Structure 1
């Protein structure tokens, strides 16, 4: 019987990685079905197989993760219509990245300060998938999970952290800027419909008039409120604070 103990990251189920890859493949903006196949070959070859831009992202949650995605430029539409689009490759691929990390639970996805694809592929803890369309290579998806348990010793022991220790930690981030967003509704549109938008077009949202607006902190729902006008500027009046699970506090 082996005396070696697997790392915390290695303890994550293979099914979790597979679910992330499948969710990502289903959301890629492709006309044909995309299949995510576990890749067991030389990692360095992945970057050579695909002609396209690589997009990386970091996900902060429990667990956290780093991901990288590269998709064949032809799959995204490299013609004149693609070139005239008002959004980047990262914009096109973000819904797929969000779908892949959604299987990990609540958290925040950011494409800022993401690790390079090269560094991610060189890490033995990273799990890689080759993306295929009709059996042909169409790109790759890589994910590395981080177990946050090692940075939460109080949670492991069951002992509450001292109040002064918590205050000290919070004091270090008092001046950190975070993005607060007010959202009045959402909708889903195909790339074709987005490219067809013109001045005067009306986009119908999924929320009725008078419904409360969502207030998100770094993409996470924290409160609801009503939109108001203050000195010819829009504002929002908080009507309800939500707990971390998205319910009333």
Structure 2
């Protein structure tokens, strides 16, 4: 019988510290909190709508993953900026997990939910991230938690008394996929200090009203949760085409003629998509761009 790293405080503390670091940078409308590490199983993806996985490199190699709910995937689908996918949006969270483990994460890739468990293997640990509900989960292969790592750089905050949402997180990976239409009543969730109403059959990451109905999030709030996501921005002066022979013949001092006249505006591209044009300027001895035109979808070429 194999033992899980959760049998040792070091493994559980490390997983919780890694998930806490991820919670601080994962896009979310509500602040997220790591709810406690637990062994993963084949049902872990049932409550989520998207997943991203990253390979780790460094002193230890392996895989980590993040599962997200409809709140984030819907915001990505509604984003006016192309090229922003789940892997890009969750890369900072995966980087934070890797840094806590003492390694580095490679570029993340979006995967189908059905493939997450097989990609991670049989032994992995899950840490749910709680907001208004279970908004996300961090998955870490168990062997990455076997060796002690100094978690002082990412201390885990003292955990308050568990709410009904946290109690739900303690059992979510052991539950079978939820029934599609039946609301579930929690007879055991009696109020201790303050009344709490957290029906378990609500969509992940959605605020829940006292009567059990789901309060839809305004579309603008969905976009706002992406405000902290990094995107690659490029300023392009012009382009040209060359043969392989000419490319191989390039030497220092060679001059290339571009397809842009002198004085023409430069293009501002976000993840390869043209969104603006402007004038090249110098700011504190560095090049900059003064935006003079915003390009809409109909005019972008």
TM-score (structure 2 length as normaliser): 0.43
Matching residue of 1:43: 41
Matching residue of 1:100: 97
Higher helix share: 1
Residue 190 (structure 1) aligned to one of 228, 231, 247: 228
Does structure 2 retain, via aligned residues, the 8 Å contact 1:54–1:68? yes
Please give the alpha-carbon distance, in whole angstroms, between the structure 1 residues aligned to 2:91 and 2:38: 26
Please give the alpha-carbon distance, in whole angstroms, between the structure 1 residues aligned to 2:231 and 2:58: 33
Map 1:49-64 → 2, pairs under 5 A: 49-50=47-48, 52-64=49-61
Matching residue of 1:240: none
Matching residue of 2:31: 33
Worse overlay, 91-100 or 55-64: 55-64
Describe the shift of the 1:46–1:103 C-alpha distance in structure 2 as closer, same or farther (beyond 3 A).
Answer: same
Residue 70 (structure 2) aligned to one of 66, 69, 73: 73
Matching residue of 2:277: 200
Does structure 2 retain, via aligned residues, the 8 Å contact 1:64–1:146? no
Matching residue of 1:123: 122
Matching residue of 1:23: 21
Mind listing any 5+ residue stretches in structure 2 that lack a counterpart? 147-226, 234-268, 287-301
Please give the alpha-carbon distance, in whole angstroms, between the structure 2 residues aligned to 1:193 and 1:105: 25
Cα shift readout 1:82-126 (whole Å, capped 9, x = no counterpart):
2644311111111110111111224352436999412256623x1
RMSD over equivalenced CA pairs, Å:
4.4
Does structure 1 retain, via aligned residues, the 8 Å contact 2:40–2:126? no
Give 1:30 deviation, angstroms: 1.2
Q: Which has the larger radius of gyration?
A: 2
Does structure 2 retain, via aligned residues, the 8 Å contact 1:66–1:144? yes
Aligned residues: 162
Higher strand share: 1
SS, match of residue 140 in structure 1: strand
Map 1:205-244 → 2, pairs under 5 A: 209=285
Map 1:143-182 → 2, pairs under 5 A: 143-146=140-143
Cα shift readout 1:137-189 (whole Å, capped 9, x = no counterpart):
21221101546x9xxxxxxxxxxxxxxxxxxxxxxxxxxxxxxxxxxxxxxx7
TM-score (structure 1 length as normaliser): 0.50
Does structure 1 retain, via aligned residues, the 8 Å contact 2:54–2:64? yes
Please give the alpha-carbon distance, in whole angstroms, between the structure 1 residues aligned to 2:278 and 2:20: 34
Please give the alpha-carbon distance, in whole angstroms, between the structure 1 residues aligned to 2:134 and 2:81: 26
Describe the shift of the 1:146–1:114 C-alpha distance in structure 2 as closer, same or farther (beyond 3 A).
Answer: farther
SS, match of residue 22 in structure 2: helix
Mind listing any 5+ residue stretches in structure 1 that lack a counterpart? 150-188, 203-207, 211-249
